[in-house]
Chains A and B, each alone.
Chain A
Amino acid sequence: MDGDTAYALSALAVSLRVALGATALVLLPGVALGRLLARSDFPGKSAVETFVALPLVLPPTAVGYLVLRLFARDGPLGQRVLGFDPDVILTWRGAVIASAAMALPLVARTARVAFEGVPARLELMGRSLGLSRAQVLRRITLPLARGGLAAAALLGFGRALGEFGATVVVAGSIPGRTQTLSIAIFEDIQLGRGGRALAMIGLSTLLAFATVWSVEALLRSRRPAA
């Protein structure tokens, strides 16, 4: 294995690790948020909706900087407040948190659509039959929303995979540790290594193709709601 291949594979490994971590981190809050927005009416709902959507529109570097400030030594989640070093800045954990923040809107929105596809009356029927809210969620809502929720997770994964701006601000570009494919490509372009950049772009394209194809397949296979 020559040096270039090792370099590209190392970036790929970091990318996968960060994207998987971000998906795991964002899935539960994203799905919960989607459920809340799909079914509940509460004061300030539209404000929550807008806030959740912000990372879609804000410059990723801005989101990255906010995460940076959050975990800075003096920040609300920094060493001084927590009493220990969360070890986020310039680490792969930081990359995970930054790309999770960027993926949250996409996951929450897709989950919301998945939940909205399950008729509320079907849930009421479950309750009229004597099932508790939790039983209805577990036995009726989640199975019926399964395809859409899996798509939400994959879209979150895809978003985290391509993340650049927020990640580079929080985690920097340390080869083998925080240097993801997108960061490595950017650096190679800066350094005039067009060939290796193209190879990594090809790698990214394969990965993106597999992800998007899986999302489409999942959304297609979603069982028709009654």
Chain B
Amino acid sequence: MSARLELRLRVRLAGFELELDLASDADALGLFGPSGAGKTSALEVVAGWRRPSEGIVRLSGRTLFDSSRGIDLAPERRGVGYVPQDLLLFEHWSVRENIAAGGARASGAARGGILERAARVLELDPLLERSVATLSGGERQRVALARALGSGPDLLLLDEPLGSLDLPLRRRILPYILRVREEFGTPMVLVSHDPLEVGVLCDVVCVLREGRQVARGRPAEVLAGAEGAPAVGAEVENVLRGRVGAVRGASATLELGAGVKLEVPAPGLEPGGRAVVALRADDVLVATRRPEGLSARNVLPARVRDIVQREGRVLMTAELGPGVDPISVELTPESTRELGLETARQVFLIVKTRSCRVMAALPPSATL
């Protein structure tokens, strides 16, 4: 059985050569790394916009490119939906015309259905007759996404889907992308230099640096540096997923699994729904004994999995329970020493409700 996406290629770029060798079955694969690492070029190769000097690109067993066999499918025959960073909306058309542009590939009834679904899921129905030139940044992002979906692609490529948006807008667009994942089930490859974005959206992340893959795995593991990945970003964010339990006043209980519960801000959450929450590694406190008389609502028993020191900072990863993503905590070398933290030691993680930022609220059926 061949992998869903197979990339083995070399691409000559200005200053270096991008070399990729990966096979992935992930629903959402993240390509993560600093700018200039070759992430966008990798997407362009898959879309057929850029020709590698050699290699193979396969999608669900279909060969899109194979230099040794002289195969190089034209972009219109690849079945790949691409949302580039600059979106490339057709400014001379309305929202509806933009979304329908890709309908050419899907035929008949399937076509009508997919356009309506894309417009509904991305809440574009009220905007359909508007000219895209009059839209806001977030609206444009959604139109580009709907347009790509409307072409009925076998794979969706997203280049920094939130990169150009300001922070409040990111929080509004993120749930849309999660919903697209949920409702369409189209596999995605997502490029980002934002660990939070990758953590929330991807189930596997591949870290690129100067054209080479340097680490790969689950975002929670790789991005926190737990497996010895190099420093990849200034801030480490934990991304926690769970089911919403009781909602009481300003806070709600998020059940992370294995009996682990987290009190998070309630706005937007409904009992029974699913939610994705972000938590900065330096917003978590560590105690070696269960603290008492504390204002923070969350005191989570955990076990130290590993401690990594890099660039004068210490990153401790702690396990909360089986099937729950570990939580990373940023510490100073001094406090690590004074607390006597070491692998396998029992600790308590202290988290304020307000430190948990709800990134997305999803319906109960969501599988994320």
Chain A interfacial positions (CB closer than 8 Å to B): 119, 121-122, 124-133, 135, 139-140, 143-144, 223-226
User: Do B91 and A128 have beta carbons less than 8 Å apart?
Assistant: no
In the complex, chain A residues whose CB is within 8 Å of the CB of B55: none
Tell me whether A119 and B101 are in contact in the complex, defined as CB-CB below 8 angstroms, given that A124-B75, A128-B76, A129-B147 are known contacts.
no
Identify the closest chain A residue to B98 (Cβ): A129
Among B78-86, B233-241, B250-258, B286-294, the stretch that binds chain A is B78-86
Q: Give the complex CA separation of A124 and B46 in angstroms.
A: 13
Q: Cβ of B92 and Cβ of A121 under 8 Å apart?
A: no
Q: Does B151 contact A (CB under 8 A)?
A: yes
Once the chains are docked, how many angstroms separate the CA of A108 from the CA of B80? 35
- Contact yes or no, A131 B104, CB < 8 A: yes
Does chain A have a CB within 8 A of B47? yes
In the bound complex, how far is the Cα of B228 from the Cα of A18, in angstroms? 77
Let me know if B49 and A130 touch, CB within 8 A. no
Chain A residue with Cβ nearest B44: A124
A28–B359 alpha-carbon span in the complex (Å): 55
Cβ-defined partner of A131 (8 Å) among B78, B81, B101, B148: B101
Q: Is the CB of B88 within 8 A of A121?
A: yes
Q: How far is the CB of B312 from chain A (nearest CB, A)?
A: 42
> Can you give 26 contacting A-B residue pairs, CB < 8 Å?
A119-B88, A121-B49, A122-B90, A124-B47, A124-B49, A125-B82, A125-B84, A127-B74, A127-B75, A128-B49, A128-B75, A128-B82, A129-B81, A129-B104, A129-B148, A130-B102, A130-B104, A130-B105, A133-B76, A135-B104, A140-B90, A143-B92, A223-B91, A223-B92, A224-B91, A226-B90
In the assembled complex, B48 has its CB within 8 A of some CB on chain A: yes
A135 to B104 alpha-carbon distance, docked (Å):
10
Say whether B347 faces chain A, with CB atoms less than 8 Å apart: no
Contact for B76 among A119, A132, A140, A224, CB less than 8 A = A132
Given A121-B84, A135-B104, is A128 in contact with B48 using a C-beta cutoff of 8 Å? Answer: yes
- A164, B74: Cα distance in complex, Å: 48
Give the residues in chain A near B302, CB-CB below 8 Å. Answer: none
Task: Give complex CA distance A193, B91 in Å.
Answer: 56
CB-defined contacts of A121 to chain B, threshold 8 Å? 49, 84, 86, 88
- Residues from 225 to 270 in B contacting A, C-beta threshold 8 Å: none
CB distance from A39 to the nearest CB of B (A): 14
The smallest beta-carbon distance between A142 and chain B, in angstroms, is 11
Q: Which of B100-158 contact A (CB under 8 A)?
A: 101-102, 104-105, 147-148, 150-151
B177 CB to closest chain A CB (Å) equals 19
Residue of A121, A127, A129, A133 with most partner-chain B CB within 10 A: A129
A89 to chain B, nearest CB (A): 46
- With A130-B105, A135-B104 known as contacts, the answer to whether A125 contacts B88 (CB < 8 A) is yes
Q: Cβ of A226: which chain B residues have Cβ within 8 Å of it?
A: 86-91
| Cα(A128)–Cα(B76), bound, Å | 5
Task: Return B82 CB to nearest CB of chain A, in Å.
Answer: 5
B76 / chain A contacts, CB cutoff of 8 Å: 127-133
**Residues from chain A with Cβ under 8 Å of B88 in the complex:** 119, 121-122, 125, 226
Once bound together, how far apart are the Cα atoms of A119 and B92, in whole Å? 13
Note all chain B residues with C-beta closer than 8 A to A135: 104
Residues of A within 8 A of B74 (CB): 127
In the complex the two chains form, what is the Cα distance from A15 to B344 in whole Å? 94
Q: How far does the alpha carbon of A122 sit from the alpha carbon of B87 in the complex, in Å?
A: 9
Return the chain A residue nearest B97 by Cβ: A139
**Interchain nearest-CB distance for A62 vs B (Å):** 43
- Please measure, in the bound complex, the distance between the C-alpha atom of A223 and the C-alpha atom of B90, giving whole angstroms: 11
| B92 cross-chain contacts in A, Cβ below 8 A | 143-144, 223
Shortest Cβ distance from residue A42 to the other chain B in the assembled complex, whole angstroms:
17
Complex alpha-carbon distance, A88 and B190, angstroms? 63
Chain A positions within 8 Å of B80 at CB level: 128
Q: Which 8 A-B pairs have the closest CB atoms?
A: A130-B105, A129-B102, A127-B75, A125-B88, A127-B76, A130-B104, A128-B75, A129-B151
